[in-house]
Amino acid sequence: MRVAFIGDIIGRPGRNHIKKELKKLKETHKIDFVIANGENASHGFGLTCENADELFKSGIDVLTGGNHIWDKKKDILALLKTSPVLRPHNYPDGVEGTGLKIFEINNQKIAVLNLMGIYGMPQVTNPFLVARDVVWQLNSDGIFHIFVDFHAEATAEKRVMFELLKGKVSAICGTHTHIGTDDYEVANGTFYVSDIGLTGCRDNVIGMDSYVPLKKALTGLGGHFDIPKSCKTIFQIVIVDIDNSGKAISGIKVKLFSDIETVVNNAIIS
C-alpha cells in the first residue's frame, strides 16, 4: 500500500497547486490513498464545505484538522457529520465529530488518527494517553495499517509521540508549524517526520502575507493574517510504502514548486 500525506493546505494558493498537480502525482507514484491537513484551507482559517469538496475532487481521500478546525463552525459541523473530515481525537468527550476513521484500501483496512499536542494549543486531553489506548484497541481489532497526523507546536512533543508509537503504527506525520523539517526516517517499521510543511505560498510568513507579521515584530501590534493575492507556491507531500503487515518500508518527501524544479528526498532507514 502506498499512502501519501500533504501538509497544512493554506488557502486558495495551496488548493490551486493541489488541483494542478495531485492527480498527476498519484499516477506517477501509484499512490493508493491521500491524507491532507485541511484546517487552513479556506483563506487560511478553517474549512468550508465548498473548499472541502474541491479538495476531494482534486484527489484527496480524507482531511484532518487541528486548532483551526472550528474557525468555520457551521461548515465544519456539517462536514464532520457527512464527510471524511477529522478533528483532533483528543478533544474532550461531547465535542462533535471524531479524530479516527477506518478505510478499506486494496482489501486492507487503514486507520487515520488525528491528534493535537498540548503546548500552545487549545484545551485537549493528553494526546499520548489517547494515542496509546487507541492504537492498542486498533491492534486488538486486527488493524495494523495506522497513519497518525500529530498536529503540534513543539517538535519535542512530536518526537515523544514517535518514541511512544514507534513499531506500533505505520506512520506519524507532524503538522501545524507550516515549516517543513528534514528529519524524515523509517524506524522499526514506522515512518516519521516532525513537520511536512505547508502547501501554499512560500515567499512570505507561513503562507500568509508578510505585512502583519512584520508590523507585529517591529511594533508589537498585531492584526489579521491574510493570504497574499499573488505568490510563489510550494506543494509538500510525503509518500510512504507500507507492507501487508502495516510496517513502513520506505518513504520519500516530494516538494513541487511553482517556479523551480521538483525536489525529492528519501527517508533514512534506521
Enzyme catalytic residues: 68
Q: Which three cell numbers stand for residue 109?
A: 483496512
Report the chain's terminal Cα–Cα distance, integer Å. Answer: 21
Q: Indicate the SS3 state at residue 135.
A: helix
167 class by beta-carbon count within 10 Å (0-12 exposed, 13-18 middle, 19+ buried): exposed
Residue 138 — φ and ψ, nearest 5°? -60, -45
Strands 100-105 and 108-116: antiparallel
- Reduced DSSP (H G I as helix, E B as strand, rest coil) percent helix, strand, coil of the chain, to 5: 25, 30, 45
Q: What is the helix (H) or strand (E) element at residue 266, kind and residue range? A: strand 263-266
Q: What is the helix (H) or strand (E) element at residue 11, kind and residue range? A: helix 11-29
Assess contact for 66 and 195: CB atoms under 8 A. no
